Amino acid sequence: MIIPQADPRDETTLTLRLADAAATMGLGRELAPLLKPGCVVWLEGDLGAGKTTLVRALLRAQGHEGPVKSPTYTLVEVYVVSKIYWYHFDFYRFNEAEEFEEAGLGEYFRDDAICLVEWPGKALPYVPEADLSLAFHFASRAEAGDDARIVELRPHSEVGRQCLKALSSRRGDAS
């Protein structure tokens, strides 16, 4: 179960506790239908925090049945699901942000594509700004084996705000 928590720092931030990988998959299922073409989502957080797991859930929810591999080495994985282009990026291995420009990756950020970006900070200032960002944290580093994660969802555009509003009201409707 995902428990919404009030965030005193920013009333537009939605903070969720994800008890295990299944909860993260559940969030992906809820979020997937709310993402529209043209949407850019940044996924932040340390290695193993759950970024790729969330992407896998988004694609599965939209009907993609094949594997969802981490694009750590390929930089981008391409999926066409229900006639929508989904591009999954991972810039972890960038030595310098200019690699974004050298690889011509800006061309992927089109109005007919949904772009999901892991390690966006490594491609600044070239990577397009997010409509929505998800920052994953390990809930308790002290307890080894604890699967819980905290994720903070923040809107950065009107598109992102609408998306979070819909997610919040759905969650409200469901309870």
Ligand X SMILES: Nc1ncnc2c1ncn2[C@@H]1O[C@H](COP(=O)(O)OP(=O)(O)O)[C@@H](O)[C@H]1O
Contacts of 45 (CB under 8 A, 6+ apart): 51, 135, 136, 137
Q: Which residues bind ligand X (CB under 6 A)?
A: 18, 20-21, 23-24, 45, 47-53, 70, 118, 147-149
What's the min distance (Å) between Cβ of 139 and ligand X?
8
What's the min distance (Å) between Cβ of 6 and Mg ion?
29
Applying CB under 5 A, the site for Mg ion has a residue count of 4
Q: Tell me the C-alpha distance between 149 and 130, whole Å.
A: 22
Contacts of 133 (CB under 8 A, 6+ apart): 41, 42, 43, 44, 153, 154, 156
Residue closest to Mg ion (Cβ):
52
Q: Which entry of Mg ion, ligand X, none binds 50, CB below 5 to 8 A by partner kind?
A: ligand X
Q: Tell me the C-alpha distance between 22 and 13, whole Å.
A: 22
Task: Give the helix ranges, DSSP H, for 41-155.
Answer: 51-61, 98-102
What's the min distance (Å) between Cβ of 42 and Mg ion?
13
What's the min distance (Å) between Cβ of 69 and ligand X?
10
Nearer to ligand X, 38 or 60 (CB): 60
Nearer to Mg ion, 74 or 169 (CB): 74
Contacts of 15 (CB under 8 A, 6+ apart): 4, 5, 6, 7, 150, 151, 152, 153
Q: Which entry of ligand X, Mg ion, none binds 157, CB below 5 to 8 A by partner kind?
A: none
Tell which one of 24, 52, 53, 62 touches Mg ion (CB under 5 A).
Answer: 52
Nearer to Mg ion, 36 or 93 (CB): 93
Task: Give the helix ranges, DSSP H, for 76-149.
Answer: 98-102
Residue closest to ligand X (Cβ):
50
